Chain A
């Protein structure tokens, strides 16, 4: 496959988060203003324990809560050309990338993992809003393709967690081309007869919504998530009207027929375990805190 320019060594995820103890031990909920202790917030998967507001969560933290025993294998994502346009705005693109890598500890905005959810082998692809607003650069496309190829090889479903401010402007047209590229990947999965479940999280916008994030067999969203093509500010500027409350939020989209379900983060594991087993015509799931699978999933070749 000649699109693979470089392999990253596969790594087994440790049970420990890469995150250091945050500078602020207390986090203020942006929705209700309650001060939340960081450890309590982490235990609640970054959902406010007072009002239920869903804050951003890193794919790594999400996957630890999702896979059986918190164990998963991180799959390699081919490394794209670093700065194909030589892009420079007020900063150079390579500098922005370096900052994002330092801040998140991740190589790119998309993380691909293999593990078991309710004892069903699943590939999860998660977008990291903390990495340059999760924007859709070539690494994002490469990650989706890598995840899908692995799923086709293993004949298992794919769950994709979307979160993005939109395109990676610094990659110009190559960012835009991730729309058709990722769509080809989704088609490969569908033609192999494997389920593709999309979970839209806050926010999912622009070219991401207008490609792989809207092509799921089942479309789920987290409560309150902003999901749109054009952002509310752009629309208000265009139509010169104030938009109704809750416009473009998950519940609004559900009402308008654009989603199948709105599911809280703490229910997501059981939701996916049930859904994936239904879609793959498997026996009902065993719920509860399952230990890690006996064997760490086999390393990809």
Chain B
């Protein structure tokens, strides 16, 4: 278990309970049940308290939690017959983007998502979920494929942002993102999206432009990282707490602004504490969102998707 800085108190209590149990295992004479149970109860109460009202910066930390379920976990948990499809047919296969065919409730679908990796080796392979142009071009190819064969598209968003690298720029990072967003708005099949962790700027928009967008309770979606915003507007990257507050990047704020269509509640203590439960709730949300747009014909679905974006901006968080 990885603990976040604001979970220090929790780490101590859980650590003590664990220690007691270890002692008891080593020494059968000892009876620590009562004490350990009391500590468990204390930890559980603290967890509820901590997560009841996470401030925006803490939400950023939870959204980036390394133990959170990632795209790969959802693919394994929600889909059958997963058949990854690789490459942009031009330059490379971008491992930061998972994409392929699968079945969702027995129905064939196309799945596209950012994958951050879960250990040093896979994080490097996945480039920490930061896609290069090839990743977006692979996504474009798969969306075209879905559109041709009338398969719904499900996207899972989890990226710090598109990769700011030399090669990525030379090969047209901006153009690739623009075309991916354009493709999201062009296809006639259902397109539903879930922000499962970090929705980082343009790199997220390229997939999150959808008929319906859901966000996990402690996920974020933002025009810029709080650190980036702080260093530009406050001239001090350490002011990320203030920036996170000001940017209104939480699922709750985005719901109020009409950008996100539903919030998926996370288990107490965040998605990282109960991956299976989180994954199944995300599955429920995908089922629900697909149900809302399934019955429309291609043209009206596409028109409604475009209208949704044209109409954005009428709501305000300020009275």
Mark A residues whose CB is within 8 Å of B: 2-3, 5, 80-81, 83-90, 138, 141, 145, 167, 169, 171-177, 179-181, 183-184, 186-187, 206-207, 209-215, 227-230, 234-235, 238-239, 241, 243, 247-248, 256-258
With known contacts A184-B185, A209-B174, A81–B311 Cβ distance under 8 A: no
Check A169–B165 contact: CB distance below 8 A: no
Q: Please, could you name 7 A-B residue pairs with CB atoms under 8 Å apart, sorted by A? A: A86-B317, A173-B222, A174-B259, A179-B178, A181-B312, A229-B202, A235-B169
How close is B147's CB to chain A, nearest CB, in angstroms?
Answer: 15
Check B173–A174 contact: CB distance below 8 A: no
Check B162–A173 contact: CB distance below 8 A: no
Check A172–B222 contact: CB distance below 8 A: yes
- Chain B residues near A174 (CB, 8 Å)? 257, 259, 312-313
With known contacts A184-B185, A215-B182, A173–B257 Cβ distance under 8 A: yes
* Interface assignment of B298: CB less than 8 Å from any CB of chain A: no
Check B172–A210 contact: CB distance below 8 A: no
Check A173–B249 contact: CB distance below 8 A: yes
Check A258–B314 contact: CB distance below 8 A: no
Check A3–B246 contact: CB distance below 8 A: no
Chain B, Cβ-Cβ closest to A255? B170
Beyond A180-B209, A207-B202, 7 extra complex contacts between A and B, CB < 8 Å: A85-B248, A89-B234, A179-B205, A183-B181, A210-B175, A211-B178, A229-B177
Chain A, Cβ-Cβ closest to B164? A230
Mark B residues whose CB is within 8 Å of A: 162-166, 168-175, 177-179, 181-182, 184-186, 201-202, 205, 209, 221-224, 229, 232-234, 242-243, 246-249, 253-254, 257, 259, 306, 309-318
Check B223–A173 contact: CB distance below 8 A: yes
- Given the complex of chains A and B, what is the CA–CA distance between A227 and B186 in angstroms? 26
How close is A256's CB to chain B, nearest CB, in angstroms?
Answer: 5
How close is A284's CB to chain B, nearest CB, in angstroms?
Answer: 31
Check A2–B259 contact: CB distance below 8 A: no
- Chain B residues near A86 (CB, 8 Å)? 317-318
Check A210–B202 contact: CB distance below 8 A: yes
Check B312–A177 contact: CB distance below 8 A: yes
CB contact between B229 and one of A90, A169, A171, A173 (< 8 Å): that residue: A169
- Chain A residues near B209 (CB, 8 Å)? 179-180, 183
Check A81–B313 contact: CB distance below 8 A: yes
- Chain B residues near A145 (CB, 8 Å)? 310
- Given the complex of chains A and B, what is the CA–CA distance between A31 and B181 in angstroms? 36
Check B313–A180 contact: CB distance below 8 A: no
Check B164–A234 contact: CB distance below 8 A: yes
Check A239–B165 contact: CB distance below 8 A: yes
Check B182–A235 contact: CB distance below 8 A: no
Check A214–B317 contact: CB distance below 8 A: no
- Given the complex of chains A and B, what is the CA–CA distance between A87 and B318 in angstroms? 10
Which 7 A-B pairs rank lowest in CB-CB distance, beginning with the nearest? A230-B164, A209-B174, A229-B174, A89-B233, A210-B177, A176-B223, A84-B316
- Chain A residues near B162 (CB, 8 Å)? 210, 229-230
- Given the complex of chains A and B, what is the CA–CA distance between A193 and B266 in angstroms? 47
How close is B253's CB to chain A, nearest CB, in angstroms?
Answer: 8
- Chain B residues near A88 (CB, 8 Å)? 246
- Chain A residues near B173 (CB, 8 Å)? 210, 229-230
Q: Give the interface centre of A5, A174, A175, A213 by most chain B CB atoms within 10 Å.
A: A174
Chain B, Cβ-Cβ closest to A86? B318
Check B164–A238 contact: CB distance below 8 A: yes
- Chain B residues near A256 (CB, 8 Å)? 170-172
Check A172–B247 contact: CB distance below 8 A: yes
CB contact between B259 and one of A177, A186, A248 (< 8 Å): that residue: A177
Check A84–B313 contact: CB distance below 8 A: yes
Chain A, Cβ-Cβ closest to B319? A86
How close is A223's CB to chain B, nearest CB, in angstroms?
Answer: 19
- Chain B residues near A215 (CB, 8 Å)? 178-179, 182
- Chain A residues near B174 (CB, 8 Å)? 209-210, 213-214, 227-229
Check A167–B177 contact: CB distance below 8 A: no
Check A180–B205 contact: CB distance below 8 A: yes
- Given the complex of chains A and B, what is the CA–CA distance between A258 and B133 in angstroms? 13
How close is B60's CB to chain A, nearest CB, in angstroms?
Answer: 14
CB contact between A85 and one of B164, B178, B246, B309 (< 8 Å): that residue: B246
- Chain A residues near B310 (CB, 8 Å)? 3, 145, 181, 184
- Chain B residues near A206 (CB, 8 Å)? 202
CB contact between A184 and one of B165, B175, B232, B309 (< 8 Å): that residue: B309
- Chain A residues near B181 (CB, 8 Å)? 179-180, 183, 210-211
Check A183–B224 contact: CB distance below 8 A: no
